[in-house]
Amino acid sequence: MPTYAYRCRECTESFELNRPMSESSAPATCPDGHQDTVKLLTTVALTGKAGASPALPAAQPAAPAGGCCGGGCCG
């Protein structure tokens, strides 16, 4: 079951609720009993190796170029 984060507009406390996706937009009551709450937009951090793509090779540093013009003659 997904976890949704909410913030109470009265006491400014944040809290989380586990609820079905079908109830994600339903009003939530803060733990202190206040009714004026708003659902927060959260991000998901994906870590680990399950289903991960193969690692990409490290980028090679650019070869040094001489002068202020990228190696060409400045005139």
**pLDDT score at 44:** 74
pTM (two decimals): 0.55
| Domain ranges (residues) in the chain | 1-20+28-44
Burial of 75 (0-12, 13-18, 19+ CB in 10 A): exposed
**pLDDT score at 43:** 79
Task: Give mean pLDDT in consecutive 10-residue pieces for the chain, a chain of 75 residues.
Answer: 94 95 92 95 76 61 61 60
**Chain-centre distance for alpha carbon 52:** 18
Residue 27 near residue 35 (C-beta atoms within 8 A): yes
**pLDDT score at 39:** 94
